[in-house]
A and B are shown apart, each in its own frame.
Chain A
């Protein structure tokens, strides 16, 4: 079963706008990761945030993590049409061995030119 819940399920914005996606999870974690998936393709890793980190940046991406609320958000600034994809959060649960990931249902982002 999937641990994460993502919100919204779908998001449509204009190019240049910011996109924010949220993820909630249930158990204690080692880290939380965000992945992007273009239609019919494999997943591409975007960013990893460890349980002792609160915020992380990578280019136009900003991720926050609130372990007390068991939630994370992904912000994509100045969006481009090429950002159109599904975005998944995935947690590496504290009790895991080996880095097994539990994925959310995903947010489908559409960026209109």
Chain B
């Protein structure tokens, strides 16, 4: 595809529900990132993949958050037992290399936990 694609664009979950957010990066991009953006704030790093390897998950806020990229392409961010503080926009980005390169962002998934 032409850009990074994320689905769904919007998700409303009841507190305690599990959700799965999908990211299709640009074909051939080695690096994939997930960020969380609260309203009125800058994005905050969650986790990073180089191909299928998850090299950095230091930003995941709790063990309820889990990300995978099993074949080095599509990635899924899963949040178990959602809580209200998980409400945010989740952004996925990919880049061609892993140093001194721009990141291409998807439109994001807006998660609202009610």
Structural contact, B45 and A42, CB atoms closer than 8 A: no
CB-defined contacts of B31 to chain A, threshold 8 Å: 98-99
- 0/1 per residue, B86-99, Cβ < 8 Å to A? 00000101010111
Interface residues of B in 57-99 (CB under 8 A from A): 91, 93, 95, 97-99
Q: How far is the CA of A44 from the CA of B108 in the complex (A)?
A: 12
- Given A43-B43, A98-B56, A99-B31, answer yes or no on A48-B105 (Cβ-Cβ < 8 Å): no
CB distance from A48 to the nearest CB of B (A): 6
- Identify A45's interface contact among B33, B55, B102, B107, CB under 8 A: B102
Q: Which residue of A lies closest to B50 (CB)?
A: A98
**Residues of A with C-beta under 8 A to B101:** 48, 99
- Whether A99 and B99, one on each chain, are in contact in the complex, defined by CB atoms closer than 8 angstroms, is yes
Complex Cα spacing A90 to B37, Å: 14
Contact A98:B48 (CB < 8 A) given known A30-B99, A42-B91, A106-B42: yes
The CA of A90 and the CA of B105, in the complex, are separated in Å by: 13
Chain B interface size, under 10 / 10 to 19 / 20 to 34 / 35 or more: 20 to 34
Complex Cα distance, B47 from A99, in Å, reads 11
Contact A50 B100 (CB under 8 A): yes
**A69 interface residue (CB < 8 Å to B):** no
State A93–B4 Cα separation when bound (angstroms). 24
Q: Are A42 and B50 in contact (CB under 8 A)?
A: no
Interface residues in A21-41 (C-beta closer than 8 Å to B): 30-31, 33, 35, 41
* B-side contacts of A31, CB under 8 Å: 100
Leading 5 A-B pairs by shortest Cβ distance: A103-B42, A42-B105, A45-B102, A43-B105, A42-B107
Binding site for A on B (CB under 8 A): 4, 31, 33, 35, 41-45, 48, 50, 55-56, 91, 93, 95, 97-108
Interface pairs (7), CB distance under 8 Å: A2-B41, A98-B99, A99-B33, A101-B35, A103-B35, A103-B42, A106-B41
